[in-house]
């Protein structure tokens, strides 16, 4: 029978004083309750055993091979390579989804058969709000699939059957995957680890390929619209043939097919966010396979609205103003050269003001953290590490575009009037994301704030031979603590930072306490940085930045892209090179805003 390690839960705090005074801890240990046995250590492996690092390398290389093969198919279809049509690409993606469906069904059935077993969980992975947001994006993805099925029905005369099978398979895949993530995103897999690694990494790269397919379709649509605007403005000399994959037959009824083809591209941004969010959640599940989870309790974060009215009003105002700017921009751009330039200037002025406010809010939050001087949580956490890596990695997309714009402005021979608004805009994009990343990364590495002042932690300390032994801690009401400690007689214990200590034993602890009392503490900080006031300021900063990031996600996701319409970069770098840079970097820039908003929501709930 495997050895079972038990954690000792302390008895009621009423007996602590007597135990500490007598120095005999036997009654204390005898009356302790035994709860929550830690998971037994797994026996030594028998037969074929694959080390964890080798299993990770094997599965990751398999995933990369699948991903590279899919990327080559996508590239071949995008450049109209001979012999590679859309049917081949959709067959490959459908096969990947069907294979993932089989693995998920096997995992769900096996988990249901062993549902009575106690399984370790990663409490930091798969937060409820994250699963809720992915459910929303998944619902819109299913609507997108329904529109694609209608598009296939309209053009059924000249479309292959794979274009009808793909959206159906994708809808089923989306439903089962959301169910899987709701039930198993927190799992720490400890059995069939090598097989599960291949299944999870296959799911990760399948979703990444579906994300890439959505990005490619949406980018081609945006590029075609940009070329049409250039033709309208008389720039046909830099415009190549429209890259149109329209079917070579007529749709019946025409109005129905036209509405569907237009509506599909308005839903692609949500589908893109769904696929990348699913990839990140599955990646955390892959990193947790075989991991030893620490037994430290995790405080559940809660979403509450009171106290953020200061941030909600300007944040919602920014959101409404952004929608108005996007509508005006899309209407005016492409009508005439004058109207296009005025639309660009309007967008740059609005974005400059918003980025300055966001940078100031981020700097204020960082300043509060620097004054607080609280130690950070450096424990291993795959979900938190992935959040930080994605923030920096996806920000590099917009940094690439911004540096390209700055270089084009400096090297251009002729500079239109709106150029001088593009320069500060590009600089602020770099600075604001740099500051915001620092604020978010430090926030997610901080421990949650302590509970209200009427909750105390009583720590009984006995000093023997110059060493302090901390016996237990428990949440107590402040009045009950005072009543029980009074029964000790003699000098009352001191309270420091919400912890109550008993004096006695060697004088070393007294000296250390005295030296700590002489150091500057939180009392010397400004009043607005203390307690609930500090927490309220940080929550307002997080709420304001959350709404601003949602606002800045809307313009590029729905076609408001001055990087296309500026024209200066296309003249300096050339049309096709600059379009390639924008098409590669823009998806990461769009995802950055949504991921930053999700991280800020987590920060808001945590503060």
Q: What is the pLDDT of residues 580-599, one digit of tens each?
A: 888 888 889 999 999 999 88
Q: Is the pLDDT of residue 40 over 60?
A: no
* pLDDT surpassing 70 at residue 370: yes
Residue 7 counted as domain residue? no
Tokens 């598009």 correspond to what residue? 151
**pLDDT tens per residue across span 388-415:** 888 999 999 899 999 999 998 888 887 7
Q: Which of 586, 602, 596, 588 is nearest to 550 (CA)?
A: 596
Q: Which of 211, 197, 181, 173 is nearest to 96 (CA)?
A: 173
73 and 202 housed in the same domain: yes
pLDDT tens for residues 110-162? 888 777 666 777 767 767 778 888 999 999 999 999 998 888 888 777 788 88
- How many C-beta atoms lie closer than 10 Å to residue 219's C-beta? 18
pLDDT category of residue 228 using cuts at 50, 70 and 90: confident
In a domain, residue 261? The reply is yes
Calpha distance 222→220 (Å, rounded): 5
- Give the span between the Cα atoms of 463 and 537, in whole angstroms: 41
Residue 33: predicted pLDDT:
40
Write down the pTM of the prediction.
0.74
Query: Quick one: 346 and 219 in the same domain?
Result: no
Residues 282 and 139 placed together within one structural domain of the fold: yes
Render pLDDT for 74-94 as a digit per residue (tens, 0 to 9). 988 888 777 788 888 999 999
pLDDT given for residue 66 in this prediction = 94
Cis? peptide before 253, omega within 30° of 0: yes
State the first-to-last Cα distance of the chain, in angstroms, to the nearest integer.
44
- Looking at the structure, tell me whether residues 122 and 172 fall in a common domain: yes
- Tens of pLDDT, residue by residue over 286-334, are 888 877 766 554 455 555 555 667 778 889 999 999 999 999 998 888 7
Domain count, the chain: 2
Lowest-pLDDT choice from 36-50, 205-219, 284-298, 430-444: 36-50
Q: 385 — phi, psi (to 5°)?
A: -65, -40
Higher pLDDT, 171 or 156: 171
Average model confidence (pLDDT) for the chain?
Answer: 76
Claim to verify: residue 207 and residue 326 sit in the same structural domain: no
Residues 191 and 322 in one domain: no
Nearest by Cα to 179 from 105, 274, 276: 105
Selection from 194, 167, 177, 26 nearest residue 102 by Cα: 177
Same domain, 316 and 286: no
Do residues 63 and 107 both lie within one domain?
Answer: yes
Strands 499-501 and 455-458: parallel
pLDDT of residue 117: 67
Which residues, listed in sequence order, are joined to residue 462 by a DSSP beta bridge? Answer: 469
**What is the predicted pLDDT for the residue at 521?**
47
Q: Is 13 part of a structural domain of the chain?
A: no
Domain that holds residue 174: 50-236+248-291
Same domain, 148 and 195: yes
Cα 378 from Cα 368, distance rounded (Å): 20
Crossing angle of helices 309-332 and 337-372, in 10° steps, is 160
String of DSSP letters for 157-213: TTS-THHHHHHHHHHHHHHHHHHHHHHHTTB---SSHHHHHHHHHHHHHHHHHHHHH
């Amino acid at each position: 029978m495997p050895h079972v390690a038990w954690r000792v839960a302390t008895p009621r705090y009423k007996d602590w004083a007597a135990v500490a005074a007598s120095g005999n801890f036997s009654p204390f240990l005898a009356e302790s309750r035994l709860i929550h046995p830690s998971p037994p250590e797994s026996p030594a492996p028998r037969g074929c055993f694959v080390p964890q690092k080798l299993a990770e390398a094997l599965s990751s290389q398999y995933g990369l091979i699948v991903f590279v093969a899919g990327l080559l198919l996508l590239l071949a279809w995008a450049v109209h390579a001979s012999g590679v049509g859309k049917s081949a690409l959709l067959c490959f993606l459908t096969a990947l989804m069907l294979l993932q469906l089989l693995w998920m069904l096997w995992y769900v059935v096996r988990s249901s058969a062993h549902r009575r077993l106690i399984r370790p969980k990663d409490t930091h992975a798969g937060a409820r709000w994250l699963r809720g947001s992915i459910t929303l994006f998944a619902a819109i993805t299913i609507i997108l699939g329904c529109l694609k099925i209608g598009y296939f029905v309209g053009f059924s005369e000249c479309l292959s059957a794979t274009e009808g099978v793909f959206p159906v398979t994708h809808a089923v895949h989306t439903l089962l995957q959301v169910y899987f993530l709701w039930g198993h995103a927190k799992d720490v897999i400890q059995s069939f680890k090598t097989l599960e690694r291949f299944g999870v990494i296959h799911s990760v790269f399948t979703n990444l390929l579906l994300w890439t397919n959505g990005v490619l379709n949406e980018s081609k649509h945006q590029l075609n619209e940009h070329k049409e605007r250039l033709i309208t403005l008389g720039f046909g000399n830099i415009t190549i043939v429209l890259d149109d994959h329209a079917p070579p037959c007529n749709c019946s009824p025409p109005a129905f097919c036209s509405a569907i083809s237009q509506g599909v591209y308005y839903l692609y941004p949500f589908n893109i966010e769904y696929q990348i969010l699913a990839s990140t959640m599955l990646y955390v599940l892959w990193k947790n396979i075989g991991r030893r989870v620490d037994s430290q309790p995790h405080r559940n974060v809660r979403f509450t609205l009171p106290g953020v009215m200061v941030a909600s009003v300007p944040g919602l105002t920014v959101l409404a103003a952004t929608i108005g700017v996007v509508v005006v921009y899309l209407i005016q751009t492409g009508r005439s050269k004058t109207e296009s330039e005025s639309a660009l200037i309007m967008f740059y002025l609005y974005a400059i003001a918003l980025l300055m406010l966001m940078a100031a809010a981020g700097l204020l939050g960082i300043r509060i953290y620097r004054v607080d001087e609280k130690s950070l949580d450096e424990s291993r956490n795959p979900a938190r590490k992935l959040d930080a890596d994605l923030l920096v990695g996806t920000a590099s997309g917009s940094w690439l575009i911004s540096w390209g714009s700055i270089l084009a402005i400096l090297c251009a021979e002729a500079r239109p009037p709106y150029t001088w608004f593009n320069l500060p805009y590009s600089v602020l994009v770099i600075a604001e994301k740099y500051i915001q990343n620092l604020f978010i990364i430090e926030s997610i590495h901080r421990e949650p704030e302590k509970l209200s002042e009427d909750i105390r932690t009583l720590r009984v300390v006995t000093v023997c031979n110059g060493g302090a032994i901390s016996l237990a801690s428990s949440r107590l009401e402040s009045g009950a603590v005072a009543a029980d400690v009074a029964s000790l007689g003699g000098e009352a214990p001191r309270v420091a930072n919400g912890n109550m200590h008993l004096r006695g034993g060697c004088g070393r602890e007294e000296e250390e306490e005295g030296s700590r009392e002489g150091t500057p503490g939180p009392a010397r900080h400004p009043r607005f940085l203390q307690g609930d006031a500090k927490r309220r300021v940080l929550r307002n900063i997080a709420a304001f930045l959350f709404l601003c990031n949602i606002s800045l996600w809307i313009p590029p996701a729905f076609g408001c892209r001055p990087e296309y319409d500026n024209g200066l970069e296309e003249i300096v770098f050339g049309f096709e090179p600059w379009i390639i840079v924008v098409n590669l970097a823009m998806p990461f820039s769009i995802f950055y805003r949504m991921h930053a908003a999700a991280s800020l929501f987590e920060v808001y709930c945590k503060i």
